[in-house]
A and B are shown apart, each in its own frame.
Chain A
């Protein structure tokens, strides 16, 4: 259904990585161990980085590994450690109304898949498109998107100060 006649190797790689990512994501939302959920999230994030490489976005892939797997994951493990003394399976991680969540998620999934199939159909990704180099990316960030970049810097500064103020013991 999906496999186009060209780029067999990329298609096989895509589906293997996608299967691992979906399985990992399902484990993140179903496992009964908070630390295991964090480690399954690492699998999903690493798979996402691999997909970014398949999409010819090396710089974003490296940033994903550095920021998510390097920094955000450590934050999650620290958060788990500081809020739960117990490392192990727990029984009360889910709401009682899980079927409502399942219904919402499945409805949303069906709506999005139908919309995407109708909207893009069999459109192929270009194989000979001009690649976006890291230099072009930096020209974008420090050129037309400079103002959002500044705003983002202030957001990060506010987040750092806010996190310190919130978590400080006084």
Chain B
């Protein structure tokens, strides 16, 4: 198997995630797109771990998974708070900081 097969898959998933972050208006869907980005990073880390024959990449992948779990927990709590305050999680309507 070629190294580039996995790296290309990671790149494609990353770009789909970036598209979702830019285009989606619903905050929960933006968090899901961020999960796509983090997963593409993990695919890259594991591909290089196999290529180099060391455990470093797998260690980093585990850390990325843990950080992603923490990020989702805090992110959804924030979304919940925003929803409670403004009755909406549409990111376009959160414009209180506009001067």
Q: Interface size class for chain A?
A: 35 or more
Among B14, B35, B78: residue with most chain A CB under 10 A: B35
For chain B, the bracket of interface size reads: 35 or more
**B81 at the binding interface (Cβ < 8 Å):** yes
Are the C-beta atoms of B77 and A55 separated by less than 8 Å? no
Determine the main DSSP class of B at the interface with A: helix
Q: A21-B13, A112-B11, A162-B74 are in contact. Are A60 and B4 (CB under 8 A)?
A: no
CA distance in complex: A116, B3 (Å): 10
Check B78 against A166 for contact (C-beta < 8 Å): yes
Contacts of A22 in B (CB 8 A): 9, 12-13, 16
B9 x A29 contact (CB < 8 A): no
A residues near B (Cβ < 8 Å) are 2, 4, 7, 10-11, 14, 18, 21-22, 25-26, 28-29, 34, 37-38, 41, 44-45, 48, 51-52, 54-57, 59-60, 63-64, 67-68, 71-72, 75-76, 78-80, 82-84, 92-95, 97-98, 100-102, 104-106, 108-109, 112-113, 116-117, 120-126, 129-130, 132, 136-137, 139-141, 145, 148-149, 152, 155-156, 158-160, 162-164, 166-167
Beyond known contacts A34-B26, A159-B73: 17 more, CB 8 A cutoff: A2-B2, A25-B12, A44-B36, A51-B43, A51-B46, A60-B46, A72-B68, A75-B72, A92-B90, A93-B26, A98-B23, A123-B51, A141-B62, A145-B63, A166-B81, A167-B77, A167-B81
